[in-house]
Amino acid sequence: MFMHLAQPQTAAHETPPKTISFEIVNLSRRRFVKGASGAAFTLAIAACAPNKPSTVSEAVAPIPDNSAVASGPLVFISIAADGRTQITNPRSEMGQQVITTVAQMIADELEVAWDKLEIKQAVGDAKYGDQNTDGSTSVRNHFKRFRMAGASMRQMLTQAAANEWGVDISECSSELGVIKHSSGKTLTYGDVAAAASQLEVPAEDSVKLKSRKEWRYIGKDQTSFTIPDVIRGKGTYGIDVRVPNMLYAVVARPPTVFGRIKSLNDRAALAVRGVTKVIRLPDPQGEAAAFQQLGGVAVIATDTWAAIQGREALEIEWEAGANGNYDSESYGRQLRATARKSGAVKLKRGDVAAAMEGAAKTVTAEYYAAHLSQSPMEPPSATAQWTDGKVECWACTQNPQAARSTVAAICGIPEEDVTIHVTLLGGGFGRKSKPDFIVEAALIAREAGAPVKVTWTREDDVRHGYFHAVSAQYMQAGLDAAGKPTAMLHRTVFPSINSTFGPADEGSNFELSLGATDAPWAVPNLQVEVGKAKAHIRIGWLRSVANVYHAFANQSFAAELAEAAGQDPKDYLLAMIGSDRQIDLSKDGVTYPNYGASLEEHPIDTARMKAVLNKVADMAKWGRDVPDGHGLGISVHRSFLSYVATAIEVAVDAEGKISFPGIWVAVDAGTVVNPANTKVQMEGGTLYGISNALYGEITAKNGVVEQGNFPDWRVMRINESPHKVEVHIMESDAPPGGVGEPGTPTAAPALANAIFAATGQRLRSLPLLGQNDRLKMTKEG
């Protein structure tokens, strides 16, 4: 099995493992080849808009833009005369195994042997439908369409065989690339591919999908297309791309957002050996940063090191601009103060004020979470090459269509003159869905008159990213004499992602729906409010977005209420969730986006939420005696249409050093395509959440981000990480939910609750440890 990425031809050639009729990259890193003409693919199909038939004509892969299926498809499939099957993957592979998962969905319905599959990575093009690999959408949004593509292809091939035999299609069946007639006659897919290419794609309502019991690959731990090669140092990432006569560039960006160059002296930079040119990038236009370049000065050289040395030799005086006074410490105090005041009401159930007055006891707590950086292992990198007024880019992008449209708009050329090739991504976490780094490459290459690769160093990535929002939250609850909550108030304040794209001074309804207005509490009087906050740095999405801080506050506060009531945290949490039901938020005045899915297919189901909570409690043996200095914490949350519960056991020694004797996760993600990948995503999401909870903090002074690399932007190290995260996947026939992000939100509150159980210290601010590697032990601890 091979994964093929369209790449620039290089001077060096070597014979690829297989030759097919499109450009491929040999999986040996940094060496590229162009495949020679091999067996022509003669049948191609696209998953089109529902019930909209399309005509398919004979084609050689890749499908040309003027083919009969060039509009509206999500994914192409091609069958070769020798039976090989090519799947064009429209999603971005960043370690989450989407290439394998997409292949499972298509190949299962197509009925083709796994070892006959070859994968081609799609370029950015609207003909593939949604390509934004974000929000845990690759399976949950495309499960039916990818399956429909395979099933439609299988039906067309079977019909072509039936036509050749002069029989009705009902007399025929297909299995692993072979079509069988009831008489015993057989034809391979390759035998009938040319004839099938003349048939119309059937409408969806005429195509029968397999039943669950017939699935061959879906729901199985299928062999990965990418892991065997990646672990051997193979595969092509953004940083690996090479183009003949390519130059290299780094950019000195304004330290503040919307900062400008006041003066520039580049003489010393141009004197650095290897530096060929220094250019000024255009400043971003308008009041919104969006996906624009940040401006600044690009240093172009014959190698990256020379470019970096040239950048260090620049003498630049900057004008800080309107964000030059941003101080994250004072800003945090402002957020907390705002959270203590009434805000805009976004959910209202009953009369919270009256219920508070009549409560036997009130409990109040404030929570805070710092800015975060996505910090993927591979920082952003993009290569651009101009030819006859058209630009071709290679990049580690999560959103190639946004890259295409943004490059076109900023460079002032039509979209059809922009080609975005998607490489493998060394992590993404939302950062690489913003194509500002690709825009930089296109602008610099045009000015240089040569192909240019733009490399972001780790310091560039940490200081000039799109940061996860800082937040302050105020929680108050009224308890009755039995300790049951009768009223609850939740105020949340954070700079909105919307501020990156236009005027916005309070959190959006979408961000509030990520853990605030969709909280599952069976409390008769409930109110959610949002306060105003203006952004001073670029705000962007990070793995699980606002669920991070909203779940931290809600799940920590639930544990605090349990403590105030003198009850077990898990039992109290179950009682707060209440009876089995499907929550109707419209009754509370909430217009709930539900992650873009229908509430009929994906209701907020408290039974599923309680089931994962009970399961993880069983896994952790909740209620058992633990040694001194140990503590168990628990949390549960619904995000991206999936339900996750996490239990963490911590051990805190006399010096405050934290270790993890056990971490348990139960997930209900509905129908799961690849269980092994789902478990890995839960493990990774949990560790990502724990790392950020312990150490994650981006700060700014005078508008300038103070962190630059891992010594001061701290992440959890290998010796600090748990030896094992035990994951259980709940059996479910529900439609698929997300798995890439839902493992993260429950980590921080479960950890904070465990630390409280071990030490008696209630930590309400993230990060819990900051730059320290241990907990500051108090007298209570």
Instruction: Give 596 or 32, the one with higher predicted confidence.
Output: 596
Query: Above 90 in pLDDT, residue 82?
Result: no
Rounded to 10 degrees, the C-alpha dihedral 289/293/295/298 comes to: 160
Mean residue pLDDT of the chain comes to 90
Sign of torsion over alpha carbons 612, 614, 620, 626: positive
Q: Phi-psi category of 776—alpha, beta or left, where left has phi over 0 and alpha has psi -120 to 50?
A: beta
**CA-wise closest residue to 447 among 262, 245, 280, 250:** 280
- The confidence score (pLDDT) of residue 235 equals 87
What is the gyration radius of the CA atoms in the chain, in angstroms? 28
- The confidence score (pLDDT) of residue 770 equals 86
Query: Above 70 in pLDDT, residue 777?
Result: yes
**For the chain, percent of residues with pLDDT exceeding 70:** 90
- The confidence score (pLDDT) of residue 43 equals 54
- The confidence score (pLDDT) of residue 727 equals 98
- The confidence score (pLDDT) of residue 741 equals 98
- The confidence score (pLDDT) of residue 229 equals 84
* CATH number, domain 328-372+466-766, options 3.30.365.10, 3.90.550.10, 3.40.50.300, 3.30.565.10: 3.30.365.10
220 Cα distance to chain centroid: 23
- The confidence score (pLDDT) of residue 656 equals 95
Is residue 358 very low, low, confident or very high in pLDDT (cuts 50, 70, 90)?
Answer: very high
Q: Which of 93-102, 228-237, 481-490 has the lowest mean pLDDT?
A: 228-237
Query: Above 90 in pLDDT, residue 24?
Result: no
pLDDT tens track for 223-244: 999 998 888 888 899 999 999 9
Rounded to 10 degrees, the C-alpha dihedral 679/513/641/121 comes to: -70
What value does the mean pLDDT take over residues 737-751?
A: 98
What value does the mean pLDDT take over residues 566-570?
A: 98
**Token representation of residue 312:** 């260090």
- Residue ranges of domains in the chain: 3-230, 238-322+380-455, 328-372+466-766
237 Cα distance to chain centroid: 17
CA 45 – CA 58 distance, rounded (Å): 10
pLDDT tens track for 518-538: 999 999 999 999 999 999 999
Is residue 558 very low, low, confident or very high in pLDDT (cuts 50, 70, 90)?
Answer: very high
DSSP string over 368-383: EE-BB----SS--EEE
Q: In CATH terms, are 3-230 and 238-322+380-455 the same topology?
A: yes
CA 20 – CA 35 distance, rounded (Å): 6
- The confidence score (pLDDT) of residue 773 equals 83
CA 491 – CA 345 distance, rounded (Å): 9
CA 340 – CA 366 distance, rounded (Å): 9
What value does the mean pLDDT take over residues 471-489?
A: 98
**CA-wise closest residue to 408 among 420, 398, 394:** 420
User: Residue 65 contacts by C-beta under 8 Å, 6 or more apart in sequence?
Assistant: 125, 127
**For the chain, percent of residues with pLDDT exceeding 90:** 85
DSSP string over 97-146: -HHHHHHHHHHHHHT--GGGEEEEEPPS-GGG------TT-TTTTTHHHH
- The confidence score (pLDDT) of residue 772 equals 84
Query: Above 80 in pLDDT, residue 56?
Result: no
Query: Above 50 in pLDDT, residue 63?
Result: no
Q: Return the CATH number of the domain spanning residue range 3-230.
A: 3.30.365.10
pLDDT tens track for 673-716: 999 999 999 999 999 999 999 999 999 999 999 999 999 999 99
> What are φ and ψ of residue 563, in 5° steps?
-65, -45
DSSP state of 13: -
Query: Above 80 in pLDDT, residue 573?
Result: yes
- The confidence score (pLDDT) of residue 233 equals 86
CA 631 – CA 617 distance, rounded (Å): 14
What value does the mean pLDDT take over residues 342-361?
A: 98
What value does the mean pLDDT take over residues 481-492?
A: 98
> Given 3-state DSSP classes, what are the helix, strand and coil percentages for the chain, each rounded to the nearest 5?
30, 25, 45
- The confidence score (pLDDT) of residue 44 equals 52
Query: Looking at domain 238-322+380-455, which CATH architecture does it have?
Result: 2-Layer Sandwich (3.30)
pLDDT tens track for 178-226: 999 999 999 999 999 989 988 988 988 999 999 999 999 999 999 999 9
Is residue 76 very low, low, confident or very high in pLDDT (cuts 50, 70, 90)?
Answer: confident
Is residue 47 very low, low, confident or very high in pLDDT (cuts 50, 70, 90)?
Answer: very low
- The confidence score (pLDDT) of residue 92 equals 97
- The confidence score (pLDDT) of residue 6 equals 39
